[in-house]
Structure 1
């Protein structure tokens, strides 16, 4: 990654020199859009092009942009250059990742802690920038950032410390589910080359730390805010996020409120905060020139204020951690400062275009992040839609109108990126933007400076900001609790998204554009999509990718059942909340008729409470209610119901049977007109022998059968007796990537291979979709059907 950054700086400097040479051509919005098209075209490729193609695009783009005078061909040259630059950067990012042969090996690394370490219940988690790596005494060409967990650390890890550690690493690999979080894309975006854990704490050695470190200052300010407020004050994590972008204290409850009210952009340090810092710097210059006006005889006030405002904004951007909205605002301030010192006027769209070009040059992969699109699209549409007036009345009217404009302008993007839309967002922002942006944030920043400098008044000012924040948060919580506050919307397709964007541009067009209200119907395909549903007698099954756990969604034309709810770990991380519920919403499941928990193990039942919170009217059924901690209707052999001509049958456990643990798992057979799916829970060989004797209960022998392997492919499940009795056509397994349990076991793989049964694993293929139609099962593999260059 060091080489990548150096290459980025060199190429960026060359591009900047070329931009200065082309100033007479009016470098602006059209060039920025051409560059954006090239960057997006490369960043969203399923597979990266070969090096010769990248080089050909770069040379062609260079020739077209430098040697020809036709504007359209020059724009094509910019597009090709941007495409080649992005593809080259993406290739370097992939090459920097941990080599596959080093996965699971003991490596000795030295590096520096970057960012703010997180202290969880079970471990400390932090990012380490590798400076040196070796294995068995031999140096390794491994450089970049790794994310580590340190279980049972003897001392706290703090920012900027240097450590010598023995670690075990693996390449970035995450779950792939509909509507799910893409951790592999985030790894590419953040430059993470591996994740892992500290292997031998006794051999860990601290090597010292950097004398000057921005992250250490951020941690110091966050600690000072916590010390100034009572322990457990609910305003503490919110003020820490506002002051220095420290979001470690924000839990899912906070994010639930922020999503429902649409004010997350205010908690994460945004362009508004950075702009306020720049304004504060400019005001200092104005105050200085008011006290010593003779200075203005030599330099105009604007020329003096511009560099000071930029320096103030840049200093605060460093404390904020240089998030994308921060960087975008800094670049815009830099453009305005440059124009002011040269006494030139720069329009809002021109300023935004130059900032966009700068971001694309220095970090083209930023387009993979939601923040890039929300940041630039939001500002661009505000400039496009609003016409600034004069006076405080016009300013207030513009502030109120801006909330409605932003809510409408970003609606297609929020549905595309998050599958949701806040109905109360305009109203919540109308209150929160002035209170948080113009009162709480400045007070918090001043209080932070007083706290770290030891000046009097810091504690009192912090507590005043906390009081305001609590009042603001109470209002936001109240609004988030409204039942209609947040709408979850399934993905309606690219065509609906394009139509919605056209509709938004039409509705926000300047006055004089005719029939702007006709843009509204173009939003309907996005907001009310037509969902694909099975025909009567058919059903659809999604085996979700939840690692070493289980969660299977079963759908008929009018009903939905969830078998197991995904794992919840001792650290508190809940895949029911993080993966299962978002997948259900992305698939358009508005009502869950039944939640069936196979048995009480945490990898099956851990996410049940999160699912119930999202779907409180679901009928609860399962085994081991005392372990699950929920009132479950018993799951007993012989239970049967029919939905839309699809039969659901419980095959195990038997009524009155003295079984517990894995052997008490509910075994569910789902039979449609095209075949049967058997969900076998965690049963072992004994229960499988009993089940094999009841083979006819799973369907007709002539129908194909799809089997979800018991116990994630454990050695003592999926026995010869069961496989011979069922004769499955397909086998599926839900297991963890590089499972420490060795699932699926080689003996199971051999038994399937002998019988010619193909096996598909969520760890390898992501979520597995089975459409059981009249002509048999149809399988869809998420990783293969939606490939991305950044995925394993």
Structure 2
């Protein structure tokens, strides 16, 4: 069973690397053709691989329908459908909820549009006159766009996440009193109503006790209220998994109910004569697990855990011996048959890999040991075995995870969760008593939280590094197999040596005299990273969108870690607009820069910055970086005071970074720095607005390539088509971060045209819209 499941998984996974999907008829024909091959052992695994590929392709084709038409994007249309789940209050003026759209009117009549949409509703003042509730049918005037997110090396793949969640469009609700109206009252299940009651009860409790946000996650599976600071502590201590209702919590509920039910069953003689106690208790335990899963929203981790528990339970009921590894293989196969797209989730891989390692430990591979020793060994082995996957998905791993989990897992699983679930049951009968029990669970969690906070503050708590180079994963997997072979076999220590390339081999960077200049995709804003052989400079950090989200934290820092950059030599903040300085605080918190320059040094947060002035320069590894603007003593301010940098490789290839300079600053540069302006690549000033890129300025630079740092379908309409045409008229190739993702310019030590790589082209996948223009 395990080998069959692995073959099917390999086929499903192979599809996820494809840029397109095969025709439906081809997938069906191939699947039917290989079915007879399942009869023979020699061809069975190959057949399962092909079937996995075809099944995933068919499900993916279904998941991609319907697609929002490009000509509908950005236009006001009317949707009709049903509210899914409880709306989230993101701020005093902003609600977010999922909407099961059924039909759409784009001004030419209604058409079918059966898909899931994520909508934001912006209110006025402190509240909303109309607040949607789960199950209600609404008509809404909205503006939609196809799934789109930042596209950068090392960054979160938002488009992949939306696809996996079944969300085919995002948007916001327009102010329209006539068309925004409730059509029918809600009709939701009893469990959904109870979940909504619990959510409402948690809101006031969280204000006084922040830990109640985590109790909320443990009971109803809603993790949206957990703060970024709390997530930081959970990540640093390797205990994030405790906040997911997955195998640990589902199996705990099933096992606890099974134990109680079996003891009660054995006391009932007639029941025992009719049905064996183990079988009856197993069914009751499974029902309890199902109720908990439904209460938690039956999300992907919960669904996966319930399938695993179901496999073991049904084995007991039908008297079928099933080893843990057979159960794991069957659970993998069933989850992929139900949802082959779950392999796109890091949680799927981490969960099944962790369960496999636990099975390896508990099946006696380490001989006879006392419980305490086995418990300690379990968490040490898990920490080592999870390392490759954690580095692949997150580029970090907790070094204090064994200590944290040895204490936190039993405390949360055997103390916090039972009290919280008891409180949930009591809440259904008496809200006051239930609320007190839920608060008691919060007190218990606060106790262990003190330990987690202390561990997270240790300097060595979290290991961060680059994304592993692809070839290092194979020796790492082989090394783990050698390292965890049974005791007594010689040479097990050599497995540790095979893990070293995973940690020590860094991504290939620029050579002497070369530079990589990456214009990152930060939406409507600017952030660029200049790398030489041994140095790194960051030019601007993109916007800050809210108190909890900015592109310094979400884009720039992950990119630097992905590239294996350990230290930041210089940060240049061109000027003080949010779309350039917004991510500076987060970047400097993660990478304290040796030098910070800006045209507004007083506005750069938490550091002592210096003024950028013409004449400043760095000669790094054969690459020259020079500040061309502003001049010391200039009275310019705002956009026209932006720091302008010229990067020149050893062979003369160059890039010009211009910030948001407008015509006034362009004229100063033309008058005083004309001989320094010619460049192969120009990062177009002010995102391609009408206030910049005069013909005289373009003629002086004579760029081969003009790159626009502009957001996809941004509200300003940047870059303006007139400006794009102006660069095209000068025979410059043009590109935009909002369309192509991160743009990396390679300046070599040779003369000639530098190479420009488009990140979206290198990671093209079938779920990405084909023409995101």
Superposed pair shares fold, TM > 0.5: yes
Could you give the per-residue CA deviations for residues 705-738 of structure 1, whole angstroms, max 9, x where no partner exists? 2100011111221110111111111111111001
Among 57, 73, 76, the alignment partner of 1:106 is 76
Q: Which residue of 2 is the match for residue 500 of structure 1?
A: 476
Rounded to whole Å, the distance in 1 between the matches of 2:716 and 2:59 is 37
Which residue pairs with 1:676 in the alignment? 654
Tell me which residue corresponds to 1:183.
158
Rounded to whole Å, the distance in 2 between the matches of 1:791 and 1:479 is 40
CA contact (8 A) 2:212 2:439 kept: no
CA distance in 1, matches of 2:367, 2:508: 53
Equivalence map 1:276-425=2 (5 Å): 276-388=252-364, 394-425=370-401
1:786 aligns with 2:763: yes
- Structure 1 721/320 Cα, relative in aligned 2: closer, same or farther at 3 Å? same
Asked whether the 8 Å contact 2:585–2:605 carries over to 1, the reply is no
1:74 maps to 44
1:226–1:51: structure 2 CA closer, same or farther, 3 Å change rule?
A: closer
Q: 1:304 to 1:547 in 2, by over 3 A?
A: same
The answer on 1:635 being equivalent to 2:612 is: yes
Matched, 1:199 2:174: yes
Give the gaps of 5 or more residues in structure 2. Answer: none
User: Is the counterpart of residue 54 in structure 1 residue 31 in structure 2?
Assistant: no
Q: How far does residue 159 in structure 1 lie from its aligned partner after superposition?
A: 3.0
How far has the Cα of 1:534 moved from its partner?
1.7
The aligned counterpart of 1:736 is: 711
- CA distance in structure 2 between the aligned counterparts of 1:93 and 1:448, rounded to whole angstroms: 35
- Partner of residue 574 from structure 1, selected from 550, 556, 559: 550
1:748 deviates by 0.8
Aligned equivalents of 2:566 and 2:20: distance in 1?
Answer: 35
734, 744, 747: which one pairs with 1:759? 734
Contact 1:416 1:497 in 2 (8 A): no
After superposition, where does 1:461-480 map in structure 2 within 5 Å? 461-480=437-456
Classify 1:373/1:619 alpha carbon distance in 2 versus 1 (closer, same or farther; 3 Å). Answer: same
- Over 3 Å counting, the alpha-carbon distance change for 1:156 and 1:395 in structure 2 is farther
1:87 maps to 2:57: yes
Residue of 587, 606, 612 corresponding to 2:563: 587
Check the 8 A contact 1:163/1:208 in 2, yes or no: no
1:439 aligned onto 2:410: no
1:3 match? none
Rounded Cα–Cα distance in structure 2 between residues aligned with 1:50 and 1:692 = 56
The answer to whether the aligner puts 1:156 opposite 2:131 as a matched pair is: yes
Distance 1:513 1:640, change over 3 A: same
Alignment-derived partner of residue 199 in structure 2? 222
* Compared CA separation, residues 448 and 200, structure 1 to 2 (3 A): same
Correspondence 1:117 to 2:93: no
Deviation at 1:133, TM superposition (A): 2.4
Question: Deviation string for 1:31-63 (max 9, x for gaps)?
Answer: 111111111111222322233542342122223
The DSSP-based 3-state class of the residue aligned with 1:516 is coil
- Tell me, yes or no, if the aligned pair for 2:79 and 2:139 is still in contact at 8 Å: yes
Q: Contact 1:31/1:75 (CA < 8 Å) preserved in 2?
A: yes
CA contact (8 A) 2:149 2:157 kept: yes
Aligned 8 A contact 2:74 2:145 in 1: yes
Structure 1 position 655 matched with structure 2 position 655: no
Shift of 1:774: 1.6
Output the aligned Cα RMSD: 2.1
Report the TM-score when normalising by structure 2: 0.94
Give the distance between the partners of 2:495 and 2:79, measured in 1 at CA: 57
Q: Is the contact made by 1:263 and 1:428 (CA closer than 8 Å) also made in structure 2? A: yes
**Deviation digits for residues 639-683 of structure 1 (CA, Å, limit 9, x no counterpart):** 223222322211112222212111111111112223221110001
Q: Deviations over 1:580-612 (max 9, x none)?
A: 111111111110111111111100000000001
**1:224–1:452 CA contact under 8 A, matched in 2:** no
Residues 167-212 of structure 1: CA distance to partner in whole angstroms, max 9, x if unpaired?
Answer: 1111101111111000111111111110000023423212211142
SS in 1 for 2:556: helix
Matched-pair contact (CA < 8 Å) for 2:237–2:452:
yes
**Residue number in structure 2 paired with 1:39:** 12
Encode CA deviations 1:600-645: one digit per residue, 9 max, x unaligned.
1100000000001101244221022344455421112222232223
Local SS of the residue matching 1:682: coil
Pair 190,297 (structure 1): closer, same or farther in 2 beyond 3 Å: same
The 3 A distance-change label for structure 1 pair 317 and 618 is farther
CA drift at 1:248:
1.4
Call closer, same or farther: CA 1:528–1:216 in 2, change over 3 Å: farther
1:70-111, Cα deviation, whole Å (9 max, x unpaired): 212122222211111111111222232212222122221122
More displaced stretch, 255-264 vs 320-329: 320-329
Cα distance 1:108–1:265, how it changes in 2: closer, same or farther (>3 A)? same
- Find the aligned partners of 2:253 and 2:729 in 1 and give their Cα distance: 69
**2:222 partner SS:** coil
C-alpha contact 1:384 1:509 (8 A) present in aligned 2: no
**Matched residue, 1:4:** none
Distance 1:350 1:763 in 2: 47
- 2:247 counterpart (271, 278, 298): 271
Counterpart of 1:6 in structure 2 is none
Could you tell me whether the CA contact under 8 Å between 2:469 and 2:507 is conserved in 1? no
Mapped partners of 2:336, 2:712: distance in 1:
34
Residues 553-564 of structure 1: pairs in structure 2 closer than 5 A: 553-564=529-540
User: Given that residues 277 and 313 in structure 1 are in contact (C-alpha distance below 8 angstroms), is that contact kept between their aligned partners in structure 2?
Assistant: yes
| 8 A Cα contact 1:124 1:157, kept in partner | no
Alpha-carbon offset, residue 513 of structure 1: 4.5
Contact 1:637/1:651 (<8 A) preserved: yes
Higher mean C-alpha deviation, range 87-96 or range 174-183: 87-96
Q: Normalising by structure 1, report the TM-score.
A: 0.92
